[in-house]
Every structure is written in structure tokens, then in C-alpha cells.
Amino acid sequence: MAEGRRERVRSRVRREGLDSLEYHEVLELMLYPLIPRKDTNPIAHSLIAEFGTLDNVLRADPHETIKIKNMTKLASETLSYFYKMHTIAKRSAYAPNIELANLDLCRQYVSTFFADRKREELYAFTLNFSFKLIAPNCIATGGLNDVRYNKKRVIEIALKDSARYMIVAHNHLTGSIEPSIADIEATYELLHALKNVECELLDHLILAGGEVYSFNEYGLMADIASAKSKMELFK
């Protein structure tokens, strides 16, 4: 009986596409190869009833989705990979040596590193003389409200990549993209530390709620570069 339904759902997708399915049916279809011997329709209904939306199901911790009746460890873990796979696929659309001087393009590319993060993270993107990407580097993973970094590690990465320029980025889980005092102070420290290895800090991006704040766009990078001390920034 379940096999007959599976074939009907697959046939509809072949004829009409995925958009013809209800959200629970999309989830049901995703579960077919993961739970081959059970009817995945009631499992899909239970998942959406528990987590509210298909989006929430795919973002849910596998330790939570496994609690749903007839879910398996394989299914729970694999569902949690879909968002990450989609993000990685989007990132792969960009050329390996993408030029990040364009702010809009830079925002789009950098955003792919922060999708669905559960902790604050700090990344450094090293660039060559032509502003082309050398490498993305995860500097540190923090907690829910901050991320602490080792300045020495940032310098080491700049030297390792022979970087002429660098863009740093981190996420806020609060939903606000406004830079904190700590964010501004850290940017000041990094900008001046990188000068010692002839690497220019071009921008600091803050990501939250689908938005991106650029220190450079709002004139903060210029203020930080001209300040003689951190205290001067807050006068």
C-alpha cells in the first residue's frame, strides 16, 4: 500500500514538478530512500506538526527529529544535511578565485558561510593584489552572544596566504546587524595588526537575519583607520 502511494507521488512529480506537492508531501518524498520500509506520509505529518513548517524540520537538530515515531538515525541526520548541502551548492556557483571588491557580490558569497549557524563564528577571507579570493578561513567559533578570536591566528593566516587584503565577517544570533563596541574595537585591533604584515583590512561584515552590515559602506573603516586610539572612536 505504501509502495503504491510512493509511485503515485513520484509520478505526480514527474508530470507536474515538485511545486505540485504539499509541504508534507515534499518531506514524505525526501524520506522515501531514507526510510524504505515504512509509510513516510504519517512521519512527515508528525514532523511538521511538531516543528511547525518544512523549513523548521530541515533546520531542526537531528537529536530532536529522531524523537518522532518511526524516524531513524539515518533519516534524522540526513535531513539535517539538506540546508548545508544547498548552501555549499550555492557557494560552488562562484568561481574559486572570485573577486570580492564588489560589495554586493561579496555579501552574497560571504553569506553562504553563515547560513543556519547555531553559534557566532568569525571568518577571514584573504585576497590577492587583484582583490581575488585566496581562501576563506574560519578563525573562531564562539557562543550565542560573542566570538573570541586570537589576533595572532589572523596574522598567521595573512602570512600563510601571502594576502595583500583581507575581509573579516562574523554573525550575530540576536538578529541585529548593528556593530557592538566590542566589534568596533576588534576591527581597530585587526586593522592595525595587519598593517604590520602589509595586509590591508578592507571591510568587516556583520550578518544577521538575512541582512549584512558593512563597516566600509557606513564609513566605519575610514573612521577606524584614522583613529589614533580606540578611545577616539567613541568620543
| Cα 222 → chain centroid | 27
pTM over the 0.95 mark: no
Backbone phi, psi, residue 12, to 5°: -65, -40
- Count of C-beta atoms within a 10 Å radius of residue 133: 20
For 217-231, write each residue's pLDDT tens digit: 999 999 888 887 777
Residue 95 confidence class, pLDDT cut points 50, 70, 90? confident
Q: What's the pLDDT band for 146 if we cut at 50, 70, 90?
A: low
CATH of domain 95-234: 3.40.140.10
Q: What are phi and psi of 88, to 5 degrees?
A: -65, -40
Task: Using the predicted structure, report yes or no on whether residue 1 has a pLDDT greater than 60.
Answer: no
pLDDT in tens, 43-73: 999 999 999 999 999 989 999 999 999 999 9
**Alpha-carbon Rg for the chain in angstroms:** 22
Nearest to 33 by CA among 55, 60, 6: 6
pLDDT value, residue 145: 64
- Helices 151-160 and 181-195: crossing angle in degrees, nearest 10, is 40
Backbone torsions φ then ψ of 212, nearest 5 degrees: -135, 125
Rounded (10°) angle between helices 73-92 and 23-31: 110
Q: How far apart are CA 46 and CA 102, in angstroms?
A: 45
Find the mean pLDDT for residues 146-167.
Answer: 90
Q: How would you classify the pairing of strands 200-208 and 165-171?
A: parallel
Check residue 114 and give its pLDDT. 87
Residue 115, pLDDT score: 80
Q: How far is CA 166 from CA 47, 121, 136, 161, 197, in A?
A: 43, 16, 10, 10, 12
pLDDT in tens, 173-222: 888 899 988 899 899 999 999 999 999 999 999 999 889 999 999 999 99
Cα–Cα separations (whole angstroms), residue 210 to 102, 107, 175, 180, 216:
18, 10, 9, 18, 19
Burial of residue 167 (CB within 10 Å: 0-12, 13-18, 19+) is: buried
